[in-house]
Amino acid sequence: MARGTQHRKRRPRTDARLAPVGPRAVRPKRPSWEDQLFFARLRSHAKWVFVLLALAFAISFVILGVGSGSTGISDILGNFFSGSSATGASLSSLKQQTVEHPKSAVAWSNYANKLEQDHQDDNAIAALTQYTKLEPKDQNALLELAGLYLSRATDWNTLYENSQALTEALSPSSPLAPKPSSSLGKALAALPSPFATAVSSQYTTATDNEYEKVISYLSDRVTVYQKLVALSPDDAVNQYSLGEAAVDAGNSAVAIKAYKAFLKLAPNDSLAPTARQEIASLKTAGG
């Protein structure tokens, strides 16, 4: 996947009462065997340690989201301040602003920001694309759009890799199968394999679709960097970023051109040796 990274826009990121202390209750003496248990001894001889352990678990669960399948309190606070896409009146009102004022760059920018905060990246891409049509020279917006394309490509690449791994896991590798030249191997080869066929059909289609998604987002990212280079042709950083984006998208011609432009602008830059290596590799791969 992509080596380069893009900075994303900012995302918006308990007072316990002490229980009244009452008279200490008299507890019956535990059996000697129970006193040997770790948690029994902990309750009997180190209550405060037990409380700290429980508190640590609670903090890790709420703040870090350990074992909950979420990112913890940051998601809760984010949802609280930004609202959800389903019920947030703020998002609805921002969308309405774009309907009422379709040529307002500010309206589209605010709507795109809100969608990003709500992790609706595809919708944010659409809104931000509309904004860049109205403000085509806003390089910060173009950089953000490139970052969104990279993020979505990364998401789909993860699905693609998982599908590949699942296919391999469900399809035994050759070391697990008998030798094709053996009698058993020949007999098995002659038999149909419905399970293998079903798995292959299902996940081949899935991986193909996911791969196409990855390439689509990466290609759109290249287009954004080409716009940035057109706006600032003497910006060496943009030229190098375009080269990286083109390599990720498998566009050798654009990558070589961008790396050459970068070397012309910054021949002594610390990234110059890497650019030269990329050019040589791309030329070798292209024959």
Q: Which residue has the higher pLDDT, 253 or 68?
A: 253
pLDDT over threshold 80, residue 234: yes
Angle in degrees, CA 149, 105, 239, rounded to 5: 40
Q: C-alpha 229: how far from its chain's center?
A: 26
Closest CA to 262 of 243, 233, 236: 236
Residue 250 has pLDDT above 50, yes or no: yes
Give the model's pLDDT for residue 84.
40
Structure confidence at residue 52 (pLDDT): 53
Q: Residue 208 has what pLDDT?
A: 83
Q: What is the band of 222 on the pLDDT scale with cuts at 50, 70, 90?
A: very high
Structure tokens, 200: 């292959």
Q: How far apart are CA 89 and CA 96, in angstroms?
A: 10
pLDDT at 75: 45
pLDDT of residue 49: 45
What is the share, in percent, of the chain residues with pLDDT greater than 70? 55
Tell me the per-residue pLDDT of 66-80, one tens digit each, with 9 for 90 and over.
Answer: 444 444 444 444 444
**What integer is the mean pLDDT of 223-249?**
97
Report d(CA 43, CA 39) in Å as an integer.
Answer: 6
Q: What is the distance, to the nearest Å, from the Cα of residue 251 to the centroid of all Cα atoms in its chain?
A: 23
pLDDT band at 12 (very low <50, low <70, confident <90, very high): very low
Confidence at residue 70, expressed as pLDDT on a 0 to 100 scale: 44
Query: Residue 169: which pLDDT band, with cuts at 50, 70 and 90?
Result: low
In the prediction, which pLDDT does 162 show? 85
Task: Give the pLDDT band of residue 256 (cuts 50, 70, 90).
Answer: very high
pLDDT at 131 over 60: yes
Q: Quote the CA–CA distance of 4 and 136 in Å, as a whole number.
A: 23
- What is the pLDDT, as a whole number, of residue 115? 95
Please report the pLDDT score of residue 87 as a whole number. 37
pLDDT interval class at 165 (50, 70, 90): confident
Cα–Cα separations (whole angstroms), residue 133 to 207, 227, 232: 33, 11, 17
Q: Is the pLDDT of residue 160 over 80?
A: yes
Average pLDDT, the chain: 73
Q: Which alpha helices (DSSP H) does the chain contain, by range?
A: 32-35, 38-45, 47-59, 73-82, 89-100, 105-117, 121-134, 139-170, 183-190, 194-231, 236-249, 252-265, 272-285
141: pLDDT strictly greater than 70:
yes
**Confidence at 156, pLDDT banded by 50, 70, 90:** very high
- Higher-confidence residue of 120 and 69: namely 120
- pLDDT computed for residue 32 by the predictor: 43
pLDDT of residue 35: 41
Q: What is the pLDDT of residues 79-102, one digit of tens each?
A: 444 334 333 448 999 999 999 999
